[in-house]
Protein backbone atom coordinates (compact mmCIF):
# COMPACT_ATOMS: atom_id res chain seq x y z
CA UNK A 1 0.00 0.00 0.00
CA UNK A 2 1.54 3.35 -0.98
CA UNK A 3 1.75 6.36 1.33
CA UNK A 4 -0.95 8.12 -0.67
CA UNK A 5 -3.54 5.57 0.42
CA UNK A 6 -2.71 5.52 4.12
CA UNK A 7 -5.13 6.91 6.71
CA UNK A 8 -4.32 10.38 8.03
CA UNK A 9 -4.68 11.39 11.66
CA UNK A 10 -7.69 13.56 10.86
CA UNK A 11 -10.85 11.95 9.44
CA UNK A 12 -11.99 13.19 6.04
CA UNK A 13 -15.45 14.23 7.15
CA UNK A 14 -17.51 17.39 7.22
CA UNK A 15 -17.20 19.77 10.11
CA UNK A 16 -19.14 18.89 13.23
CA UNK A 17 -22.39 20.81 13.73
CA UNK A 18 -20.74 22.94 16.41
CA UNK A 19 -18.08 24.04 13.91
CA UNK A 20 -20.55 25.14 11.27
CA UNK A 21 -22.00 28.61 10.99
CA UNK A 22 -24.90 29.34 13.24
CA UNK A 23 -28.32 29.58 11.58
CA UNK A 24 -28.38 33.34 12.07
CA UNK A 25 -25.10 33.70 10.16
CA UNK A 26 -26.08 31.39 7.31
CA UNK A 27 -27.64 33.23 4.32
CA UNK A 28 -30.93 32.05 2.89
CA UNK A 29 -31.42 30.88 -0.69
CA UNK A 30 -32.20 34.43 -1.88
CA UNK A 31 -29.06 35.86 -0.30
CA UNK A 32 -30.73 37.40 2.75
CA UNK A 33 -31.14 36.14 6.28
CA UNK A 34 -33.16 33.00 7.07
CA UNK A 35 -36.92 33.47 7.38
CA UNK A 36 -38.41 34.03 10.81
CA UNK A 37 -39.95 30.71 11.98
CA UNK A 38 -41.19 31.91 15.35
CA UNK A 39 -44.41 30.54 16.84
CA UNK A 40 -47.53 32.00 15.36
CA UNK A 41 -45.85 33.73 12.43
CA UNK A 42 -47.29 33.23 8.95
CA UNK A 43 -45.24 30.52 7.32
CA UNK A 44 -44.92 30.18 3.55
CA UNK A 45 -42.77 27.17 2.83
CA UNK A 46 -41.15 26.79 -0.56
CA UNK A 47 -38.77 24.18 -1.86
CA UNK A 48 -35.22 25.41 -2.46
CA UNK A 49 -33.34 22.16 -3.14
CA UNK A 50 -29.62 22.03 -2.49
CA UNK A 51 -27.33 20.45 -5.08
CA UNK A 52 -26.57 16.74 -4.82
CA UNK A 53 -22.94 16.24 -3.88
CA UNK A 54 -20.91 13.32 -5.13
CA UNK A 55 -20.21 10.64 -2.51
CA UNK A 56 -16.65 10.28 -1.31
CA UNK A 57 -14.35 8.42 -3.70
CA UNK A 58 -13.78 5.03 -2.09
CA UNK A 59 -10.45 4.68 -3.90
CA UNK A 60 -9.06 7.48 -1.74
CA UNK A 61 -10.13 5.95 1.56
CA UNK A 62 -7.42 4.86 3.98
CA UNK A 63 -6.47 1.28 4.73
CA UNK A 64 -8.38 1.11 8.02
CA UNK A 65 -11.59 2.41 6.49
CA UNK A 66 -11.31 0.09 3.50
CA UNK A 67 -10.74 -2.88 5.81
CA UNK A 68 -13.79 -1.92 7.92
CA UNK A 69 -15.99 -1.63 4.83
CA UNK A 70 -14.86 -4.97 3.42
CA UNK A 71 -15.22 -6.73 6.77
CA UNK A 72 -18.71 -5.29 7.28
CA UNK A 73 -19.85 -6.38 3.82
CA UNK A 74 -18.37 -9.85 4.36
CA UNK A 75 -20.10 -10.29 7.74
CA UNK A 76 -23.45 -9.18 6.34
CA UNK A 77 -23.13 -11.50 3.35
CA UNK A 78 -22.14 -14.45 5.56
CA UNK A 79 -25.10 -13.85 7.85
CA UNK A 80 -27.43 -13.93 4.87
CA UNK A 81 -25.88 -17.08 3.38
CA UNK A 82 -26.11 -18.92 6.70
CA UNK A 83 -29.74 -17.90 7.15
CA UNK A 84 -28.96 -16.02 10.36
CA UNK A 85 -30.58 -12.77 9.27
CA UNK A 86 -30.25 -9.89 6.85
CA UNK A 87 -26.87 -8.82 8.24
CA UNK A 88 -28.35 -5.39 8.93
CA UNK A 89 -26.72 -5.26 12.36
CA UNK A 90 -23.71 -7.61 12.44
CA UNK A 91 -22.08 -6.09 9.36
CA UNK A 92 -22.41 -2.56 10.68
CA UNK A 93 -21.31 -3.54 14.17
CA UNK A 94 -18.11 -5.20 12.95
CA UNK A 95 -17.33 -2.29 10.62
CA UNK A 96 -17.81 0.24 13.44
CA UNK A 97 -15.56 -1.78 15.72
CA UNK A 98 -12.76 -1.55 13.15
CA UNK A 99 -13.42 2.11 12.28
CA UNK A 100 -15.37 3.99 15.00
CA UNK A 101 -15.98 7.08 12.84
CA UNK A 102 -17.16 5.08 9.83
CA UNK A 103 -20.72 6.43 9.98
CA UNK A 104 -19.69 10.02 9.37
CA UNK A 105 -17.21 8.92 6.71
CA UNK A 106 -19.89 6.99 4.81
CA UNK A 107 -22.37 9.87 5.17
CA UNK A 108 -19.96 12.41 3.69
CA UNK A 109 -21.16 13.57 0.29
CA UNK A 110 -24.64 12.04 0.61
CA UNK A 111 -28.01 13.67 1.18
CA UNK A 112 -29.27 11.74 4.21
CA UNK A 113 -32.87 11.79 5.48
CA UNK A 114 -33.39 10.55 9.05
CA UNK A 115 -36.88 9.37 10.05
CA UNK A 116 -37.85 9.03 13.71
CA UNK A 117 -40.90 8.83 15.94
CA UNK A 118 -42.75 6.23 17.98
CA UNK A 119 -44.94 4.88 15.18
CA UNK A 120 -44.64 4.73 11.40
CA UNK A 121 -40.85 4.92 11.08
CA UNK A 122 -40.35 1.83 8.93
CA UNK A 123 -43.20 2.57 6.53
CA UNK A 124 -42.28 6.25 6.18
CA UNK A 125 -38.60 5.41 5.65
CA UNK A 126 -39.51 3.04 2.81
CA UNK A 127 -41.70 5.76 1.29
CA UNK A 128 -38.87 8.29 1.54
CA UNK A 129 -36.38 5.88 -0.03
CA UNK A 130 -38.71 5.16 -2.95
CA UNK A 131 -39.45 8.86 -3.37
CA UNK A 132 -35.73 9.71 -3.52
CA UNK A 133 -35.12 6.94 -6.06
CA UNK A 134 -37.27 8.90 -8.48
CA UNK A 135 -34.26 11.23 -8.71
CA UNK A 136 -31.20 9.04 -8.01
CA UNK A 137 -30.14 5.81 -6.24
CA UNK A 138 -30.86 5.72 -2.52
CA UNK A 139 -29.95 3.26 0.23
CA UNK A 140 -32.09 2.49 3.26
CA UNK A 141 -32.14 0.33 6.40
CA UNK A 142 -35.29 -1.40 5.15
CA UNK A 143 -35.09 -4.20 7.73
CA UNK A 144 -35.60 -1.74 10.60
CA UNK A 145 -32.11 -1.95 12.14
CA UNK A 146 -32.41 1.63 13.35
CA UNK A 147 -29.35 2.29 15.50
CA UNK A 148 -25.82 3.28 14.45
CA UNK A 149 -24.71 -0.19 13.35
CA UNK A 150 -27.83 -0.53 11.20
CA UNK A 151 -27.14 2.85 9.61
CA UNK A 152 -23.59 1.82 8.74
CA UNK A 153 -24.79 -1.50 7.30
CA UNK A 154 -27.29 0.35 5.10
CA UNK A 155 -24.72 2.84 3.82
CA UNK A 156 -22.33 -0.03 3.03
CA UNK A 157 -24.77 -1.58 0.57
CA UNK A 158 -24.12 1.02 -2.15
CA UNK A 159 -21.17 3.30 -1.52
CA UNK A 160 -21.86 5.56 -4.49
CA UNK A 161 -25.59 6.15 -3.84
CA UNK A 162 -26.07 9.92 -3.42
CA UNK A 163 -29.19 9.56 -1.21
CA UNK A 164 -29.97 7.66 1.99
CA UNK A 165 -33.23 7.26 3.91
CA UNK A 166 -32.51 5.96 7.40
CA UNK A 167 -34.92 5.02 10.16
CA UNK A 168 -33.52 5.98 13.56
CA UNK A 169 -34.62 5.02 17.06
CA UNK A 170 -35.98 8.05 18.90
CA UNK A 171 -33.34 7.89 21.63
CA UNK A 172 -30.48 7.51 19.14
CA UNK A 173 -31.08 10.56 16.94
CA UNK A 174 -28.82 12.67 19.17
CA UNK A 175 -26.00 10.14 18.65
CA UNK A 176 -26.43 10.52 14.89
CA UNK A 177 -26.39 14.33 14.87
CA UNK A 178 -23.27 14.32 17.06
CA UNK A 179 -21.52 12.57 14.17
CA UNK A 180 -22.92 14.32 11.10
CA UNK A 181 -25.70 16.64 10.02
CA UNK A 182 -28.46 15.02 7.95
CA UNK A 183 -30.03 16.96 5.09
CA UNK A 184 -33.52 16.39 6.54
CA UNK A 185 -34.97 15.03 9.78
CA UNK A 186 -38.57 13.77 9.91
CA UNK A 187 -40.29 13.84 13.33
CA UNK A 188 -43.48 11.77 13.08
CA UNK A 189 -45.00 11.48 16.58
CA UNK A 190 -44.29 10.55 20.18
CA UNK A 191 -46.33 8.31 22.47
CA UNK A 192 -45.68 5.89 25.31
CA UNK A 193 -43.81 2.79 24.17
CA UNK A 194 -41.57 0.32 26.01
CA UNK A 195 -41.65 2.37 29.19
CA UNK A 196 -39.27 -0.03 30.93
CA UNK A 197 -36.63 0.66 28.25
CA UNK A 198 -37.32 4.10 26.81
CA UNK A 199 -38.90 5.98 29.71
CA UNK A 200 -41.56 8.65 29.64
CA UNK A 201 -42.49 10.59 26.53
CA UNK A 202 -41.02 13.85 27.84
CA UNK A 203 -37.62 12.17 28.19
CA UNK A 204 -37.74 11.25 24.50
CA UNK A 205 -38.93 14.74 23.50
CA UNK A 206 -36.01 16.32 25.36
CA UNK A 207 -33.60 13.95 23.59
CA UNK A 208 -35.03 14.92 20.19
CA UNK A 209 -34.74 18.60 21.07
CA UNK A 210 -31.08 18.10 21.94
CA UNK A 211 -30.52 16.22 18.67
CA UNK A 212 -31.96 19.10 16.63
CA UNK A 213 -29.72 21.69 18.30
CA UNK A 214 -26.79 19.68 16.95
CA UNK A 215 -28.13 19.92 13.38
CA UNK A 216 -29.01 23.60 12.82
CA UNK A 217 -28.67 23.34 9.04
CA UNK A 218 -30.97 20.36 8.55
CA UNK A 219 -34.50 20.78 7.19
CA UNK A 220 -36.85 19.48 9.89
CA UNK A 221 -40.25 18.13 8.80
CA UNK A 222 -42.38 17.77 11.91
CA UNK A 223 -45.86 16.88 13.14
CA UNK A 224 -47.52 20.11 14.28
CA UNK A 225 -50.43 18.19 15.89
CA UNK A 226 -48.27 16.50 18.53
CA UNK A 227 -47.32 18.91 21.34
CA UNK A 228 -44.30 16.76 22.20
CA UNK A 229 -42.97 17.09 18.66
CA UNK A 230 -43.74 20.83 18.65
CA UNK A 231 -41.73 21.16 21.88
CA UNK A 232 -38.77 19.33 20.31
CA UNK A 233 -38.78 21.22 16.99
CA UNK A 234 -40.15 24.72 17.74
CA UNK A 235 -36.74 26.28 18.36
CA UNK A 236 -35.16 24.97 15.16
CA UNK A 237 -34.62 27.56 12.38
CA UNK A 238 -35.85 25.40 9.47
CA UNK A 239 -39.12 23.57 10.13
CA UNK A 240 -41.84 22.39 7.75
CA UNK A 241 -45.01 21.56 9.70
CA UNK A 242 -47.30 18.68 8.69
CA UNK A 243 -50.87 18.38 10.00
CA UNK A 244 -52.58 15.00 9.96
CA UNK A 245 -54.86 15.27 12.97
CA UNK A 246 -54.59 13.63 16.38
CA UNK A 247 -55.95 10.14 17.06
CA UNK A 248 -54.10 9.18 20.24
CA UNK A 249 -54.36 12.08 22.70
CA UNK A 250 -53.47 10.63 26.09
CA UNK A 251 -49.78 11.55 25.84
CA UNK A 252 -50.48 15.07 24.60
CA UNK A 253 -52.89 16.52 27.15
CA UNK A 254 -50.27 18.46 29.12
CA UNK A 255 -47.67 20.91 27.87
CA UNK A 256 -44.29 19.15 27.57
CA UNK A 257 -42.53 22.44 28.34
CA UNK A 258 -44.25 23.51 31.57
CA UNK A 259 -46.75 20.77 32.42
CA UNK A 260 -49.87 22.93 32.17
CA UNK A 261 -53.08 21.31 30.90
CA UNK A 262 -53.59 21.84 27.16
CA UNK A 263 -56.83 19.95 26.63
CA UNK A 264 -58.14 19.61 23.10
CA UNK A 265 -55.06 19.34 20.89
CA UNK A 266 -57.20 19.33 17.73
CA UNK A 267 -57.66 23.05 18.06
CA UNK A 268 -55.01 25.79 17.69
CA UNK A 269 -53.85 25.56 21.28
CA UNK A 270 -51.48 27.96 22.98
CA UNK A 271 -50.02 27.23 26.40
CA UNK A 272 -49.49 29.90 29.01
CA UNK A 273 -45.72 29.31 28.72
CA UNK A 274 -45.76 30.34 25.05
CA UNK A 275 -45.56 26.93 23.36
CA UNK A 276 -48.24 26.86 20.65
CA UNK A 277 -49.50 24.84 17.73
CA UNK A 278 -47.79 26.30 14.63
CA UNK A 279 -49.50 26.96 11.28
CA UNK A 280 -49.46 23.99 8.91
CA UNK A 281 -47.40 23.88 5.71
CA UNK A 282 -49.03 20.58 4.64
CA UNK A 283 -52.54 19.40 5.65
CA UNK A 284 -53.57 15.77 5.15
CA UNK A 285 -57.12 15.27 3.86
CA UNK A 286 -59.38 12.25 3.34
CA UNK A 287 -57.87 11.64 -0.10
CA UNK A 288 -54.56 13.48 -0.24
CA UNK A 289 -52.80 16.58 1.03
CA UNK A 290 -53.05 20.37 0.76
CA UNK A 291 -49.83 22.35 0.44
CA UNK A 292 -49.19 25.82 1.83
CA UNK A 293 -50.61 27.40 -1.34
CA UNK A 294 -53.89 25.49 -0.98
CA UNK A 295 -53.18 23.11 -3.89
CA UNK A 296 -54.56 19.60 -3.39
CA UNK A 297 -52.31 16.65 -4.21
CA UNK A 298 -54.06 13.30 -4.72
CA UNK A 299 -52.20 10.46 -3.01
CA UNK A 300 -54.18 7.33 -4.10
CA UNK A 301 -52.02 4.96 -2.05
CA UNK A 302 -51.98 1.17 -2.17
CA UNK A 303 -51.38 1.18 1.60
CA UNK A 304 -54.61 1.56 3.60
CA UNK A 305 -55.73 4.08 6.19
CA UNK A 306 -55.36 7.73 7.12
CA UNK A 307 -52.13 7.01 8.97
CA UNK A 308 -50.42 6.09 5.71
CA UNK A 309 -51.58 9.29 4.03
CA UNK A 310 -49.80 11.10 6.84
CA UNK A 311 -46.67 8.98 6.32
CA UNK A 312 -46.77 9.64 2.57
CA UNK A 313 -47.07 13.39 3.15
CA UNK A 314 -43.87 13.36 5.19
CA UNK A 315 -42.15 11.42 2.39
CA UNK A 316 -43.44 13.81 -0.29
CA UNK A 317 -42.29 16.86 1.67
CA UNK A 318 -38.83 15.36 2.18
CA UNK A 319 -38.40 14.34 -1.46
CA UNK A 320 -39.42 17.77 -2.76
CA UNK A 321 -37.07 19.41 -0.29
CA UNK A 322 -34.20 17.38 -1.73
CA UNK A 323 -34.99 18.28 -5.33
CA UNK A 324 -37.47 15.58 -6.35
CA UNK A 325 -40.35 16.20 -8.76
CA UNK A 326 -43.89 15.55 -7.59
CA UNK A 327 -45.19 13.28 -10.37
CA UNK A 328 -42.41 10.65 -10.32
CA UNK A 329 -42.19 10.82 -6.52
CA UNK A 330 -45.90 10.09 -6.07
CA UNK A 331 -45.81 7.37 -8.73
CA UNK A 332 -43.22 5.46 -6.70
CA UNK A 333 -44.91 6.00 -3.33
CA UNK A 334 -48.27 4.86 -4.70
CA UNK A 335 -46.82 1.50 -5.72
CA UNK A 336 -45.83 0.53 -2.16
CA UNK A 337 -48.21 -2.16 -0.91
CA UNK A 338 -46.30 -3.37 2.14
CA UNK A 339 -43.39 -2.20 4.27
CA UNK A 340 -41.13 -4.87 5.81
CA UNK A 341 -44.17 -7.15 5.99
CA UNK A 342 -46.59 -4.56 7.37
CA UNK A 343 -49.99 -4.76 5.61
CA UNK A 344 -48.70 -7.74 3.60
CA UNK A 345 -50.91 -10.70 2.65
CA UNK A 346 -49.06 -13.89 3.62
CA UNK A 347 -49.74 -17.59 4.28
CA UNK A 348 -49.95 -18.82 7.87
CA UNK A 349 -51.37 -22.15 8.99
CA UNK A 350 -52.49 -22.87 5.44
CA UNK A 351 -54.53 -19.64 5.31
CA UNK A 352 -54.00 -16.36 3.52
CA UNK A 353 -53.99 -13.58 6.13
CA UNK A 354 -53.27 -9.86 6.28
CA UNK A 355 -50.44 -9.14 8.72
CA UNK A 356 -50.59 -5.89 10.73
CA UNK A 357 -48.18 -4.46 13.32
CA UNK A 358 -49.34 -2.71 16.51
CA UNK A 359 -46.90 -2.26 19.38
CA UNK A 360 -48.33 0.41 21.72
CA UNK A 361 -51.68 2.11 22.46
CA UNK A 362 -51.34 4.65 19.64
CA UNK A 363 -50.60 2.07 16.94
CA UNK A 364 -53.23 -0.36 18.27
CA UNK A 365 -55.78 2.43 17.94
CA UNK A 366 -54.86 2.90 14.27
CA UNK A 367 -54.92 -0.81 13.44
CA UNK A 368 -58.19 -1.48 15.28
CA UNK A 369 -59.73 1.44 13.42
CA UNK A 370 -58.47 -0.07 10.16
CA UNK A 371 -60.03 -3.51 10.77
CA UNK A 372 -63.26 -2.10 12.22
CA UNK A 373 -64.42 -1.32 8.67
CA UNK A 374 -64.78 -5.05 7.88
CA UNK A 375 -66.07 -8.21 9.58
CA UNK A 376 -63.22 -10.54 8.60
CA UNK A 377 -61.89 -13.04 11.20
CA UNK A 378 -59.56 -11.34 13.67
CA UNK A 379 -56.55 -12.71 15.59
CA UNK A 380 -54.67 -10.57 18.14
CA UNK A 381 -51.16 -11.57 19.25
CA UNK A 382 -49.14 -10.06 22.12
CA UNK A 383 -45.65 -10.95 23.39
CA UNK A 384 -43.57 -9.21 26.06
CA UNK A 385 -39.96 -9.95 25.19
CA UNK A 386 -37.01 -7.57 25.44
CA UNK A 387 -37.70 -5.88 22.10
CA UNK A 388 -41.37 -5.39 23.06
CA UNK A 389 -40.80 -4.21 26.61
CA UNK A 390 -41.74 -6.55 29.45
CA UNK A 391 -44.47 -4.27 30.82
CA UNK A 392 -47.88 -4.92 29.20
CA UNK A 393 -49.92 -2.62 31.42
CA UNK A 394 -50.46 -0.51 28.28
CA UNK A 395 -53.11 -3.05 27.21
CA UNK A 396 -55.52 -1.23 29.52
CA UNK A 397 -55.02 2.01 27.57
CA UNK A 398 -56.16 0.48 24.26
CA UNK A 399 -59.80 1.04 23.22
CA UNK A 400 -60.63 -2.62 22.65
CA UNK A 401 -64.27 -1.76 23.31
CA UNK A 402 -64.66 -0.99 19.61
CA UNK A 403 -64.50 -4.78 19.00
CA UNK A 404 -67.67 -5.53 20.96
CA UNK A 405 -69.94 -7.96 19.15
CA UNK A 406 -67.07 -9.38 17.12
CA UNK A 407 -65.50 -12.78 17.97
CA UNK A 408 -61.73 -12.56 18.48
CA UNK A 409 -58.96 -15.16 18.76
CA UNK A 410 -55.93 -14.31 20.92
CA UNK A 411 -52.46 -15.86 21.06
CA UNK A 412 -48.88 -15.03 22.05
CA UNK A 413 -46.83 -15.05 25.24
CA UNK A 414 -49.31 -12.73 26.97
CA UNK A 415 -52.51 -14.15 25.49
CA UNK A 416 -54.10 -14.56 28.94
CA UNK A 417 -53.41 -10.92 29.88
CA UNK A 418 -54.97 -9.87 26.57
CA UNK A 419 -57.98 -12.14 27.14
CA UNK A 420 -58.58 -10.58 30.57
CA UNK A 421 -58.41 -7.08 29.07
CA UNK A 422 -60.88 -8.08 26.34
CA UNK A 423 -63.26 -9.58 28.90
CA UNK A 424 -63.41 -6.26 30.75
CA UNK A 425 -63.97 -4.53 27.39
CA UNK A 426 -66.98 -6.77 26.74
CA UNK A 427 -65.32 -8.57 23.82
CA UNK A 428 -65.77 -12.32 23.39
CA UNK A 429 -62.31 -13.88 22.99
CA UNK A 430 -60.92 -17.41 22.66
CA UNK A 431 -57.35 -18.19 23.75
CA UNK A 432 -55.21 -20.30 21.40
CA UNK A 433 -51.77 -21.84 21.95
CA UNK A 434 -50.44 -20.58 18.61
CA UNK A 435 -51.55 -18.30 15.80
CA UNK A 436 -51.96 -21.31 13.54
CA UNK A 437 -54.35 -22.88 16.06
CA UNK A 438 -56.18 -19.54 16.36
CA UNK A 439 -56.60 -19.37 12.58
CA UNK A 440 -58.01 -22.89 12.64
CA UNK A 441 -60.79 -21.56 14.85
CA UNK A 442 -61.90 -19.03 12.25
CA UNK A 443 -63.97 -19.56 9.15
CA UNK A 444 -63.94 -17.96 5.70
CA UNK A 445 -62.72 -14.58 4.59
CA UNK A 446 -59.22 -13.08 4.78
CA UNK A 447 -58.30 -12.98 8.50
CA UNK A 448 -56.55 -9.93 9.92
CA UNK A 449 -53.69 -10.78 12.30
CA UNK A 450 -52.61 -7.85 14.49
CA UNK A 451 -49.39 -8.57 16.38
CA UNK A 452 -46.94 -6.59 18.48
CA UNK A 453 -43.27 -6.36 17.55
CA UNK A 454 -41.65 -9.75 18.26
CA UNK A 455 -44.88 -11.61 17.50
CA UNK A 456 -45.11 -9.81 14.15
CA UNK A 457 -41.45 -10.50 13.39
CA UNK A 458 -41.81 -14.22 14.14
CA UNK A 459 -45.01 -14.53 12.09
CA UNK A 460 -43.47 -12.72 9.14
CA UNK A 461 -40.46 -15.04 9.27
CA UNK A 462 -42.65 -18.15 9.46
CA UNK A 463 -44.72 -16.98 6.52
CA UNK A 464 -41.63 -17.02 4.30
CA UNK A 465 -40.44 -20.54 5.21
Bind-site residues for Zn(2+): 255, 258, 271, 273
- Cβ burial of 418 (10 Å; 0-12, 13-18, 19+) is buried
381: three-class secondary structure by DSSP: strand
| Contact (Cβ atoms closer than 8 angstroms) between residue 250 and residue 241 | no
205: phi then psi, degrees, rounded to nearest 5? -60, -40
**Does residue 434 sit in helix, strand or coil?**
coil
Sheet strands (E) in 343-454:
345-348, 351-357, 378-381, 408-411, 429-431, 448-451
Cβ density class 41-59: b for 16+ within 10 Å, e for less? eebebebebeebeebbeee
H helix or E strand, kind and range, residue 239:
strand 239-243
160 classed as catalytic:
no
Pairing of strands 351-357, 345-348: antiparallel
Q: What is the dihedral of CA 190, 193, 199, 205, to 10 degrees?
A: -10
Using CA atoms, how far apart are residues 344 and 356, in angstroms rounded to an integer? Answer: 8
Handedness of CA 80, 86, 89, 92 (dihedral sign): positive
User: CA nearest 378: which of 307, 456, 439, 422?
Assistant: 439
| Positive/negative CA dihedral, 85, 88, 89, 93 | positive
Cα–Cα distance, 287 to 299 (Å, whole number): 6
- Host H or E run for residue 229: helix 227-233
Q: Annotated binding site, which residues?
A: 255, 258, 271, 273
User: Which of 250, 391, 413, 417 does the annotation list as catalytic?
Assistant: 391
3-class secondary structure, 186? strand
Closest alpha carbon to 217 in 81, 27, 3: 27
Catalytic sites, residue numbers: 391
Amino acid sequence: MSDTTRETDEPTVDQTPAQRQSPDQRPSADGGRPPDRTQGADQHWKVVPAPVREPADTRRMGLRTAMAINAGKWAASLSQRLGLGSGGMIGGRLALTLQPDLLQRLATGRRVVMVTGTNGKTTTTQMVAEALRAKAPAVSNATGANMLDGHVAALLTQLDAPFAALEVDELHLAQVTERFEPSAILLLNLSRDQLDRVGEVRTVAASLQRALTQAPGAQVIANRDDPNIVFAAAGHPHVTWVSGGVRWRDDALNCPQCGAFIGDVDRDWRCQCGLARPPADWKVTDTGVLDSEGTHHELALALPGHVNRVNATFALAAALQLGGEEAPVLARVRRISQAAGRYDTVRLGGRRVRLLLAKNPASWLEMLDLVSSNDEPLVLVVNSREADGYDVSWLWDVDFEMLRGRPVQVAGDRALDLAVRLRYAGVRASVASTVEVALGGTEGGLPDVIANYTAFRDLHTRSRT
